[in-house]
């Protein structure tokens, strides 16, 4: 299991669009969320709250979670990704996970986490194409 930085490490405050080591960008009526490998539990929970507000405020069609930087997904991060997808669906936005490494996919299956509320795509381009098709 990987070690995570403490949420209390000394870092300057970031603007609302960036939570710790994640970023949220609006691309073609979809929110692109890049999750970095050293995200803390506190930051991932903050991301969940921030993202739900952005989905409602910006009336987006989709949420694209880019997890290409994640080498490992533990049960907590996997559960939060599943919750983000559920929240997005309730707010009428479809969730895509892109950039999943084979080791991450294997780990999720071994943990019994199938992310049923999400769709997967090989890249941002593929996810956007699927969103355009509806």
32-70 residue pLDDT tens? 999 988 788 888 889 989 999 999 999 899 999 999 998
52 with 86: CB under 8 angstroms?
no
β pairing state of 94-98 and 62-66 = parallel
Kindly state whether residue 3 falls inside one of the protein's structural domains. Answer: no
- The CATH number that applies at residue 90 is 3.30.750.24
Q: How many domains does the chain have?
A: 1
Q: Identify the domain containing residue 121 by its residue range.
A: 18-133
Kindly state whether residue 4 falls inside one of the protein's structural domains. Answer: no
Kindly state whether residue 5 falls inside one of the protein's structural domains. Answer: no
Write down the pLDDT at residue 21: 58
Kindly report, residue by residue over 88-129, the tens digit of the pLDDT: 999 999 999 999 999 999 999 999 999 998 999 999 999 999
Kindly state whether residue 9 falls inside one of the protein's structural domains. Answer: no
| Both tokens assigned to 115 | 């992310």
4 Cβ neighbours under 8 A, 6+ residues apart: 38, 39, 40, 41
Kindly state whether residue 7 falls inside one of the protein's structural domains. Answer: no
Kindly state whether residue 26 falls inside one of the protein's structural domains. Answer: yes
Model pTM score: 0.81
Cite the beta strand spans of 3-124 per DSSP E. 18-19, 22-27, 30-35, 62-66, 94-98, 118-121
70 with 101: CB under 8 angstroms?
yes
Kindly state whether residue 2 falls inside one of the protein's structural domains. Answer: no
């Amino acid at each position: 299991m990987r070690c995570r930085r403490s949420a209390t490490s000394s870092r300057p405050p970031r603007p609302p669009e960036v939570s710790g080591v994640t970023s949220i960008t609006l691309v073609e009526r979809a929110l692109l969320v890049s999750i970095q490998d050293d995200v803390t539990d506190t930051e991932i929970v903050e991301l969940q709250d921030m993202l739900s507000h952005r989905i409602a405020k910006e009336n987006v069609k989709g949420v694209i979670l880019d997890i290409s930087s994640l080498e490992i997904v533990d049960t907590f991060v996997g559960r939060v990704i599943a919750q983000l997808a559920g929240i997005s669906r309730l707010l009428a936005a479809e969730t895509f996970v892109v950039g999943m490494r084979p080791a991450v996919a294997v780990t999720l299956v071994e943990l019994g986490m199938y992310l049923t509320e999400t769709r997967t795509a090989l890249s941002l381009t593929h996810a956007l194409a699927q969103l355009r098709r509806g």
